[in-house]
Structure 1
Amino acid sequence: MIIDTHKLLGSLFYQATSKEQLVTIVEALVESEVLSEECLQALRGEDEDALAAEFSRLFEGVGDMPAPPWGSVYLDKDRVVFGASTVEYRQFLELNQIELDTGLREPEDQFGLMLFAHAYLLENNNINSAGELLEGYLLTWSSVYLEKLNKASELSFYKKLSVDVIDWFKYLTSEYNLNVATKKLYID
């Protein structure tokens, strides 16, 4: 279940899709009890053009990015993409024979891409590395990012999505006794 969940969640944070596709994804995540019915209702109430514009603003860097989706922005003192934490994460991916080739020059520590990498590790029965990805990389900064996303979004859907994903990660941390590494975060 977590494999499919993280693929679907990853797509919400990485791939621009139509409202119809978003509804299908969110319905599946509501059925799996990962997202709330309120999140789905918020999505249904959004305008398609507004969703597309907000996705671009929040995830693609159109204009000022109020909640950058890259771990290095929160983990590196200089708050830059492709920082030292990105290099460290890239080495982790290489050790686990994961090559993320999106066709773009972008950091691998993008929130949605990290969810895809986690799903890939689980698909390949690499349970220890999947746990390490959560404990040592993604969960170290994700709650701060998701809280910023919640405050930055102008749409109810992304506000509800961010809260639901925070709750999902709390559930995973508790259910699987994850020991999340404490890392210094650089935030406003």
Structure 2
Amino acid sequence: MCKALSKEELQQYQAIANILQHIILVDPDGKTVNAFKLDALAEQWPCLTDSVAEQQGKATLASFFEGWTGSEAEALALRLDFTRLFCGPDTPLAAPWGSVYLCENELLNDTSTQALSKFYSAHNIKLTFTSNEPVDHIGLMFAVLSYLLGSMTEGNTTEYQQKVVSDLLRFHLLPFANRVMELIKEHASSSYYQGMALLGSVFLNHLSVRLKIIPLKYKLYR
């Protein structure tokens, strides 16, 4: 059993999960990116490892914000990048659904999706989002992770709460999430998504070390 997460750690992890959820799940708009720039997101990003990858991610993101003026053309280019990566109209270049990586048929709502739904039901986790996405959309999973971490900041963290977080990561998110980040880094045309993917990978790997998680091994089909 790992050492209990401190309130500061929980707040940092919750904030990162919330940002990653927004980046991958929500079609980007100029106002959000402007807000990230004004908040100096790259500079304020929590230092988890001070690794080369983390420094590169922050630098990549900072470079994007430095060049961002908020023009309609820039916003359109970012939306097109989002669409190519996560939506289509052809096969998404960084498909956000777990089952297309974890199940041989590469279909939506396959057995791994069903297993995640059962996990949520067993722990009374109810998705309240208006999205019609399958529950194993990585953005939705980051949203659930953010919610769980947030609930742990409200009082003394219990072993049960920490186990739910660990099991979500071990059995459902970590087996495919780093592959999504790799594909984002490979195919993104903007340094916005490239930087976020670098920082997302650092975050996932840091959580696995901090919580002493060995992810369930799957053969990946993408």
Q: Distance in 1 between matches of 2:195 and 2:14?
A: 22
TM-score by length of 2: 0.76
Q: Does 1:150 align with 2:150?
A: no
106, 117, 122: which one pairs with 2:144? 117
* Structure 1 gaps, min length 5: none
Aligned match of 1:56: 83
CA contact (8 A) 1:121 1:130 kept: yes
Deviates further, 45-54 or 3-12: 45-54
Query: Residue 173 and residue 104 in structure 1: after superposition, are their counterparts in 2 closer, same or farther (change >3 A)?
Result: closer
Aligned match of 1:80: 107
56, 63, 83: which one pairs with 1:41? 63
Aligned match of 2:211: 176
% same residue: 22
Deviates further, 140-149 or 173-182: 173-182
Matches within 5 A, 1:17-32: 17-25=28-36, 27-28=40-41, 30-32=43-45
Say how many residue pairs are matched: 187
Q: How much does 1:140 deviate?
A: 0.6
- 1:71-93: CA deviations, max 9, x gaps? 00000010011111000001111
Superposed structure 1 runs of 4+ greater than 4 Å apart = none
* Structure 2 gaps, min length 5: 1-11, 48-56, 69-73, 153-160
Q: Does 1:3 align with 2:14?
A: yes
Q: Distance in 2 between matches of 1:146 and 1:155?
A: 14
CA contact (8 A) 1:23 1:40 kept: no
Indicate the structure whose relative CO is greater, using CA pairs within 8 Å and at least 6 residues apart: 2
Aligned match of 1:92: 119
RMSD: 2.0
